[in-house]
Chain A
Amino acid sequence: MAKFGLDFLTTSNWDPVSERYGAFTAIYGTLVSSLLALIIAVPLGVGTAVFITENLIPASVRNVLGMMVELLAAIPSVVLGLWAIFVMEPFIRPLLAVLHATLGWLPFFSTTAQGPGMAPAILILVVMILPIITAIARDSLNQVPPELRQAAYGIGATRWGAILQVILPAAISGITGGVMLALGRAMGETMAVTMIIGNSTNFSWSLLAPGNTISAMLASQFGEADGIQVSALMYAAFVLMLLTLVVNMMAQWVVRRLSLQYS
């Protein structure tokens, strides 16, 4: 492990034949895919949580929606991966092609979409972390003391005025904790991502090109690796573990601060 030094983290040259390893492609892929997935999933998840906690619709519909989101969390990631390969990816490919045609001058869309790649992997990550964000945001919205809501309505706030300016700020630390947990989950997520990301060891800025993440690299290479490649993969696993550990500990710290506030 120590043998590779810090160069391992910054070089993008992964070559089992000449035994030179640099994990920058995978580390970059891990960070970019999970952060972009988070950016898409947070508004969706929090919006859904608001929709199923506030009394916008009858309680029975809300319960069914909540249950469906929880069941989505129960679907194994490998099944989502299968679905992503054969259903989602062919479906979004034309859309990605439009993206490339109109925004191709940006380095992020500089290659054509040709099947597996970073963009479908990000979308499947969104599907996987949505239930986590929704569930935790819903719990923290439910924990907001009813007095706050009543006071807001009492001084004449509209429903959305109360939600946006009183209830969401009161629940923000719980939601932040949930978002951090989801980030940890997204970084460690393996199967669905491995199946759809393309497992390329070449570095590319483009989101439409095949990429790699640490966990996908572990899943696809660990089985047939030997000697020094195992050490390199172990090093990558260590980096991933460190990343998720930091994110999860920050999440717990944020959540603990919430429970001090409202218990």
Chain B
Amino acid sequence: MTSTFTDSSSAAASHSGFERSSLRFNPSLARNRWSFLFTSVAATFAAICVLPLVLVLVYVLIKGGSLISLRLLSELPPAPGLDGGGIGNAIIGTFVVSSIAALIAIPVGVGGGIYLAEYSAGGWFSQFVRFGTDVLSGVPSIICGVFIYGLIVSTRFFFDQSYSAMAGGIALSVLMLPTVIKTTDEALKLVPNELRWGAFGVGASKFVTIVRITLPSAFSPIATGAVLAIARAAGETAPLIFTALFSPFWPEGLFNPIASMSVLIYNFAIMPYEAQISLAWAASFVLVVMILAANLFARWLSRLTST
């Protein structure tokens, strides 16, 4: 506002201590410029964060998806230098090893979680278990592999067999355990105490309360945690390289080396043969689709509780 021209309202405004134009958004102000700058920086960062996911998915879907055929899913990998073949044994192997891991980790983990949430009175032992779980979840997966190698593979624990599907499954179960314990523990803590009191009130024992009332009401978060843990285990490679090893043949029982998709990708990606590399892309496609499906399934499971 200029001093030579004043109307009544601006006069009133200047009397009360501010100019009316200052109420309008002025993009050239320093603070608005800074705001704009920071917002665009944050937006750029977010875009950079999402970019790898999009790029990886696009490449895996295009390079791997174009190779998928019934033959690829059902045949053995070719000898080095030859064309054709498939990843059938690796798909079966991944299922076998993950199932072994799930069969070990889910009962033990859910049991541990029940103990922590329902039985322990918060003494030093449960503190110790919680601390141990947290530490275990931070242990690098390769260390798990080295540990199982030392414990089972090098001692020939199972029927004098060194590398075996069983050892691989046990190594993966060590990785899954912390996730399962933690989600069970937290899911049970969220169950309202009124439910337990009600069960006690009609004369149920502690065990019956847990099995019939508490566990069913905490089912979907526990299942979500278990599915996520299995999905993570299926993609793990490091613990399998020197426990389950690899095998170019069909699985020969639980106590022999077994192929898995993740180790197949690792082994074939560093080979100089075109056929192997394209098999690695195809295996990535199958693995990524399986894991993303498991994640979406877990999301759907967890939405079941919130509604």
Contact = CB atoms under 8 A, between A and B. Distances in A.
B269 A51 contact: no
Given A79-B288, A83-B56, A44 B49 contact: yes
B66 interface: no
Contacts of A195: 266, 269-270
B281 A240 contact: no
B182 to A, nearest CB: 13
A45 interface: yes
Given A75-B291, A82-B269, A181 B42 contact: no
B235 A47 contact: no
Contact of A83 (B43, B60, B143): B60
Given A71-B295, A241-B143, A222 B235 contact: no
Contact of B269 (A68, A81, A161): A81
B52 interface: yes
Nearest to A87: B59
Main secondary structure of the interface of A (DSSP, over half): helix
Contact of A44 (B38, B48, B287): B48
A191 interface: yes
A78 B266 contact: yes
Given A191-B266, A219-B241, A237-B146, A134 B138 contact: no
Contacts of A237: 142-143, 146
A96 interface: no
B42 A50 contact: yes
Given A75-B288, A160-B38, A191 B237 contact: yes
Contacts of B143: 188, 237, 240-241, 244
Size class of the contact patch on chain B = 35 or more
A223 interface: yes
Size class of the contact patch on chain A = 35 or more
Given A44-B48, A252-B134, A76 B287 contact: yes
Contacts, number: 180
Nearest to A181: B138
A129 B54 CA distance: 16
B42 A51 contact: yes
Contact of B35 (A81, A158, A185, A223): A158
Interface in B264-294: 265-266, 269-270, 277, 280-281, 284, 287-288, 291-292
24 contacts: A47-B44, A51-B45, A65-B49, A71-B53, A72-B53, A72-B56, A74-B231, A74-B295, A75-B56, A76-B291, A78-B284, A79-B60, A79-B265, A79-B284, A81-B265, A160-B34, A185-B138, A188-B139, A218-B145, A223-B241, A237-B142, A237-B143, A241-B143, A244-B143
Interface of A: 43-45, 47-48, 50-52, 56, 65, 67-72, 74-83, 85-87, 127, 130, 134, 158-161, 163-164, 181, 184-185, 187-191, 194-195, 215, 218-219, 222-223, 233-234, 237, 240-241, 244-245, 247-249, 251-252
Interface of B: 31-32, 34-35, 38-39, 41-46, 48-50, 52-56, 59-60, 131, 134-135, 138-143, 145-146, 149-150, 231-232, 234-238, 241-242, 245, 262, 265-266, 269-270, 277, 280-281, 284, 287-288, 291-292, 295, 299
